[in-house]
Amino acid sequence: QEDRAAGGPASVCYPKRKGAAPQASRSQVEGVRIMSSYTDRVLQLVAEPSYKPRTLKSLSRHFQVDPEDYPAFRAEVKGLIREGKLEIGRDKTLSKPEIAGAIVGLFRRSAKGFGFVRPHGLPGKADQIYIPPEACGDASSGDEVAVRIVKKARREGMNDEGRIVQIVARATGAFVGTYLEEAGAGYVKVDGTTFHDLIYVGDPGAKGAKPGDRVVLELVRYPSARVEGEGVVTEILGERGAPGVDTLTVIRALNIPDVFPESVLDEARQLAREFNGEDVAGREDLRDVLTVTIDPATARDFDDAISLSRDENGHWSLGVHIADVSHFVRPGSEIDDAARKRGTSVYLPDRVIPMLPEILSNSLASLQADHVRYTVSAFLDFTPEGVLTAKRFARTAIRVDHRFAYEQAFAVMRDPAGGHEGVAPNVVKMVVDMLELAMILRRRRFARGALELSLPEVEIELDEHGKVSGAHLASHDESHQ
């Protein structure tokens, strides 16, 4: 009512939070919600291909707006004009803004409400366009937007000022935040600076959430300077600080897909049924060649293996064997499509979200010890001084004889004569030879001017409940080199 009396927009769409004006009655709130729905209906109408520009009065007749509600309707439409979502012509008709000639780029919003748009292809800070809070509309960080310049920079080093005229593509509709309750309603405080204000999610206890819970929110209405945001709680991640909740928060906040469609899993299961490791037709058979892997102790998949021999003249023959994932991932398959969308596996402190279903990434395409696996191999011949003399490539089949963790491999390198349980003498000899060749090649690289960037890497320590218990710098010894 205060907004209407002041001639401003009807921006009160939901119950007021603590510290605001007295809460409206339920009927008043519902009435304002009905009015606010005209915003979406107007935008849908002007976006239709058959729409012909209309005046404000004509629009009100089209929507059969009650005379009593006309001032609020007019305020809603004027708000859309201010936000750049509607354009008003010389003849007072309203239409969808033309983005021809507008600048398209990525929007980032600050905690204070204003933001910047970085135009595509212009990476410099000076090229960014400043967007004041009232000109941001309902854009959120990461959205691709169209911008019109409204004020050129007055001096060098300042940014042009613009207003967002259209959301070209939303970055996401799902966000992570903390659920809370105020004045008899449920809200979510979204993490980061994406949204300055709380997002209304309905009556208390939405989807069984309790104050302080970490939740996933899907927006129904993006907030703007005039209208509060509205969303729906789609998932409860758990209580703040509970084991595993932080990891889930990262997964949901970055929209990392952690579940494969059933069609992808079915295709992977079919590949598993068809796989016969003893069928090496068309492949070079290396199953009897001594082969090892060296990976972190916590590794869940094994991508590469090594074999090495040396003749009586000291010449080296090195085999580097990479898991032949392409045998299983055929172009255009369901698995290929899913992998392209994921792009990579994601490594988190307590888990891996694989690019491929685990029946492949942790089994058939993982170079597990004592199992026949398909690989693509590079065979490299070196002189005793480490000069490359020959190379060739082949599709192969190998059987890994020993799986090393870095720590175990390093112990063998430091003390070859010591007793290393479970490590055969021929494996010990090959590990020692591997170290010798690695150091020869390393010295040659540095002699040619190679740089070594020793950047410390921090590893997170988790207790048995999955809570962070500490951190340490990762080692980088000869076994890694």
* pLDDT tens readout for residues 125-166: 778 999 998 888 888 888 888 898 888 888 887 889 998 888
How far apart are the C-alpha atoms of 474 and 481, rounded to whole Å? 14
Distance of alpha carbon 204 from its chain centroid, rounded?
A: 30
Please provide the DSSP assignment of 372-383 as one string.
EEEEEEEEEEE-
Residue 23 CB partners (closer than 8 Å, separation 6+): 15, 16, 183, 184
In terms of DSSP bridges, do strands 468-473 and 316-323 run parallel, antiparallel, or are they unpaired? unpaired
Tokens of 120: 């595509």
pLDDT tier, 7 (very low <50, low <70, confident <90, very high otherwise): very low
How far apart are the C-alpha atoms of 278 and 287, rounded to whole Å? 10
User: For 215-243, b where at least 16 C-beta lie within 10 A, e where not — what string?
Assistant: bbbebebbbbbbbbbbbebebbbbeeeeb
Q: Is the pLDDT of residue 312 over 60?
A: yes
| Overall average pLDDT of the 219-231 stretch | 80
Instruction: Tell me the CB-side half-sphere exposure of residue 480, using CA atoms within 13 A.
Output: 8
| Overall average pLDDT of the 226-246 stretch | 85
pLDDT of residue 291: 96
pLDDT of residue 26: 37
pLDDT of residue 37: 64
Helices 70-82 and 26-47 meet at what angle, rounded to 10? 50
Q: What is the pTM of this model?
A: 0.66
| DSSP type of residue 48 | S
pLDDT of residue 45: 86
Q: Which residue has the higher pLDDT, 94 or 379?
A: 379
pLDDT of residue 434: 93
Q: Measured at the alpha carbon of residue 28, what is the angle toward residues 24 and 30, in degrees to the nearest 5?
A: 115
pLDDT tier, 305 (very low <50, low <70, confident <90, very high otherwise): very high
Q: Which residue has the higher pLDDT, 99 or 315?
A: 315
Lowest mean pLDDT of 43-47, 53-57, 176-180, name the range. 43-47
Kindly report the average pLDDT of the chain as a whole number: 84
- Give the whole-number percent of the chain exceeding pLDDT 70: 90
